[in-house]
Amino acid sequence: MRTLLLLLALAAPAAATEEVIGALSQNRVSITANFDGSEIFVFGAVKRYAPVPSDVGPLHIVITIQGPTQRVTVRRKERIFGIWVNRDTVEVDEAPSFYAIATSGPLDEIMFETERLRHGIGFDKAVRVVGAPEDVLNPRSFTEAVVRIRRANGLYAQLDGAVDIREETLFSTSVALPANLVEGDYRTRMLLLRDRAVLHVAETEITVRKEGLERLIYVTAHERPLLYGLLSLAVALFAGWVASEVFRLLRR
Amino acid sequence: MQIYLPIAEVSVNAFLLLGLGGMVGVLSGMFGVGGGFLMTPLLFFIGIPPAVAVATEANQIVASSFSGVLAHLRRRTVDIKMGVVLLIGGLAGSAAGVRIFRWLTTQGQVELLVTLCYVVFLGIVGLLMFVESLRALRRVEPASPAAPQRHQSWIHRLPFRMRFRASQLYISVIPVLLIGAAVGVLAAIMGVGGGFIMVPAMIYILGMPTKVVVGTSLFQIIFVTGFTTLMHATQNYTVDAVLALLLLLGGVVGAQIGARLGVRLKAEQLRILLALLVLGVCGKLLLDLVLRPAELYTLGAAVAH
């Protein structure tokens, strides 16, 4: 099911004469038993109220897709008496469960650091510790570890130059959602930039939900845990009995 | 064929899970161990979150143990009376173990202590079994196999003696209850059935005949792991029904094959194989503790304060 969704244009700066209008190939991802990841096609166009002045730099687009924000406990191992033991612990207060950034050029070159900070663009801006414990050496390395581990798992991705811009008007890219997604609303933003400053932002959401049997199992496990546990046991005992009987018949 | 696991929230290959279940099931049927001490680390390795792996593994062990016990019941190699007494101790120990586990989790050191438990117990048990069965093999081969000598130590002469007909023992219930409880505590902490500790304890401490040890151990494991499954399902919501089903489909079939294979092998050969397996897992875990890990940092869900 591929639905087109027109994006809601958010409050644009008064001076902006250009706006970004975008759409997604799907705004709903269903996690069913055979879910093996999904590819989201993001595309759109730039709407102009006046001709582009000749003295401005080229147009750039940054697209981000962000999963629900979670708290994460990060532990660092240290060698004590010859064995590796968890020693320092930092609670990372904000870390998106999924974060993909697709850009039309190298992120550092097309966007000011202050703009990245203001809009929370980039792994270093999205993964944050609010109050770092004072007794921990080098707390920054803990947020870097979150980014490193999640990039290795395919949950974080930075795709520099993956956004295709045609005639400074049409743009498109595709973002792969991995199979190990969590449920929730995935915030999708499209930023229009010129001269490293953000001119306009459009935003929408992708809803990721478990469906069918997956949903039934998940809901039962959380809302009727005793029943769920007893059912799990019953299935286990039944399977054991069936296997035993089948093998007894086979032997005859 | 990829399949998405609803509780673990990851997508894995269904045939890989069936294969793992089958392999561990064979071991379960052969040795009377639940196989959790192998399966749980294997599940970590393929990317299942540890909490889900431990809880779901308990559910799978119920299935493979039940399948194995039925095969043993038919051959009358289960000492039900002994199993029930062990179980009484086991449930008490398991309830205590779950509390200890929760306390360790809040301290952030549960992973280390679980691994240390594995290394220490697998190491001791593996070495004891290996040495003992080598000695037994040498002793048996030249002379005709003599009846195993039942040394009645002071442990057996404690009060509250009870007759265990299937095991041909008349011993005090105190050591039986204590062994059940100790295994229950360890089983809950280590997230396994505890068969690999129970089997040697029954042979070397209680002096039970090897042929009833496996069936009796499986009998007892069903209840301890069933109890653990319920505790995890109601308190942590970490039992994954789809994962359990795939593992147990492979597991129950494997357990039947294992039980048949076990009958063909001599008791000492069986014990040497189990000892080597236990030592192998122990060595791997020890290396993981000592060698510098590739990634020094680990991510976990935030602990509620």
Question: Which range has highest mean pLDDT (A133-137, B43-47, B86-90)?
Answer: B86-90
| pLDDT computed for residue B302 by the predictor | 53
Residue B129 near residue B274 (C-beta atoms within 8 A) = yes
pLDDT less than 70: residues of chain A: 1-16, 132-133, 252
| pLDDT computed for residue A12 by the predictor | 40
- Split at pLDDT 50, 70, 90, the class of B248 is confident
The 3-state secondary structure of chain B, one letter per residue:
CEEEECCCCEEEEHHHHHHHHHHHHHHHHHHCCCCHHHHHHHHHHCCCCHHHHHHHHHHHHHHHHHHHHHHHHHCCCCCHHHHHHHHHHHHHHHHHHHHHHHHHHHHCCHHHHHHHHHHHHHHHHHHHHHHHHHHHHHHHCCCCCCCCCCCCCCCCCCCCEEEECCCCEEEEHHHHHHHHHHHHHHHHHHCCCCHHHHHHHHHHCCCCCHHHHHHHHHHHHHHHHHHHHHHHHHHCCCCCHHHHHHHHHHHHHHHHHHHHHHHHCCHHHHHHHHHHHHHHHHHHHHHHHHCCCCCCEEEEECCCC
Distance CA B81, CA B59 (A): 24
Q: For residue A144, what are its two tokens?
A: 């870097």
Residues in chain B closer than 8 A to A237 (CB atoms): 62-63, 66
Taking CB atoms and an 8 Å limit, are B248 and A236 in contact across chains? yes
Q: Could you tell me the CA-to-CA distances from B174 to A189, B85, B162 in Å, in that order? A: 68, 10, 10
SS3 A66: strand
Match 């001791």 to its residue by tokens: B124
| pLDDT computed for residue A210 by the predictor | 87
Residue A25 near residue A151 (C-beta atoms within 8 A) = no
- Produce one character per residue of B201-230: b if its CB has 16 or more CB atoms within 10 Å, e if not: bbbeebbbbbebbbbbbbbbbbbbbbbbbb
The lowest-confidence range among A14-18, A41-45, B30-34, B239-243 is A14-18
Q: For residue B4, what are its two tokens?
A: 């998405």
| pLDDT computed for residue A14 by the predictor | 43
| pLDDT computed for residue B65 by the predictor | 82
| CA angle in degrees (0–180, nearest 5) for B132-B135-B137 | 110
Per the model's pLDDT, the better-predicted residue between A35 and B268 turns out to be A35
Residue A34 near residue B4 (C-beta atoms within 8 A) = yes
- Split at pLDDT 50, 70, 90, the class of B304 is very low
Provide the mean pLDDT of chain B. Answer: 79
- Pick from A35, A82, A235: which is nearest to B11 by CB? A35
Distance CA A252, CA B130 (A): 37
Distance CA A103, CA A175 (A): 11
Count of residues for chain B? Answer: 305
Q: What is the largest CA-CA distance in chain A?
A: 90
List pLDDT tens digits, range A180-227: 888 899 999 999 998 888 999 999 999 998 888 888 888 888 888 899
Taking CB atoms and an 8 Å limit, are A145 and B297 in contact across chains? yes
Taking CB atoms and an 8 Å limit, are A75 and B67 in contact across chains? no
The partner residues of A192 in beta bridges, in order of sequence, read A61, A200
Q: Which residue type occupies A172?
A: S
| pLDDT computed for residue B23 by the predictor | 84
Cα B97 to the center of its chain, rounded Å: 15
For B60, name the nearest residue in chain A, comparing CA atoms only.
Answer: A236
Taking CB atoms and an 8 Å limit, are A243 and B1 in contact across chains? no
Taking CB atoms and an 8 Å limit, are B10 and A77 in contact across chains? no
Taking CB atoms and an 8 Å limit, are A180 and B237 in contact across chains? no
| pLDDT computed for residue A15 by the predictor | 52
Q: Which residue type occupies A29?
A: V
Residue B31 near residue B274 (C-beta atoms within 8 A) = yes
Name residues whose C-beta falls within 8 Å of residue B215's C-beta, 6 or more positions apart in sequence. Answer: B32, B68, B69, B72, B73, B75, B77, B78, B79
| pLDDT computed for residue B301 by the predictor | 65
Residue A74 near residue A146 (C-beta atoms within 8 A) = yes
The C-alpha R_g of chain A, in whole angstroms, comes to 24
Portion 246-275 of B in contact with A at CB < 8 A: 248-249, 252-253, 255-256
Q: How far is A59 from chain B (nearest CA, A)?
A: 38
| pLDDT computed for residue B148 by the predictor | 47
Match 């930023």 to its residue by tokens: A191
Q: For residue A142, what are its two tokens?
A: 């803990």
The lowest-confidence range among A115-119, A217-221, B166-170, B245-249 is B166-170
- Pick from A37, A217, A239: which is nearest to B63 by CB? A239
Q: Which residue type occupies B205?
A: I
Predicted ipTM > 0.90:
no
Mean pLDDT throughout B271-276?
Answer: 82
| pLDDT computed for residue A186 by the predictor | 93
List pLDDT tens digits, range B131-160: 888 887 777 654 444 444 455 566 666 777
Name residues whose C-beta falls within 8 Å of residue B141's C-beta, 6 or more positions apart in sequence. Answer: none
Residue A103 near residue A110 (C-beta atoms within 8 A) = yes
Mean pLDDT throughout B218-226?
Answer: 87
Residue A44 near residue A72 (C-beta atoms within 8 A) = no
- Pick from A75, A150, A233: which is nearest to B226 by CB? A233
Q: Of B254, B7, B174, which is closest to residue A243 (Cα–Cα)?
A: B254
Distance CA B52, CA B300 (A): 13
The partner residues of A79 in beta bridges, in order of sequence, read A84
pLDDT at residue B201 above 70?
yes
Q: Could you tell me the CA-to-CA distances from B235 to A56, B125, B229, B231 in Å, in that order? A: 60, 32, 10, 6
Query: Between helices B267-290 and B14-31, what is the axis angle to 10°?
Result: 130
Distance CA A85, CA B108 (A): 10
Predicted structure pTM score:
0.72
Residues in chain A closer than 8 A to B71 (CB atoms): 244, 247
> What does the DSSP 8-state code read for residue A4?
-
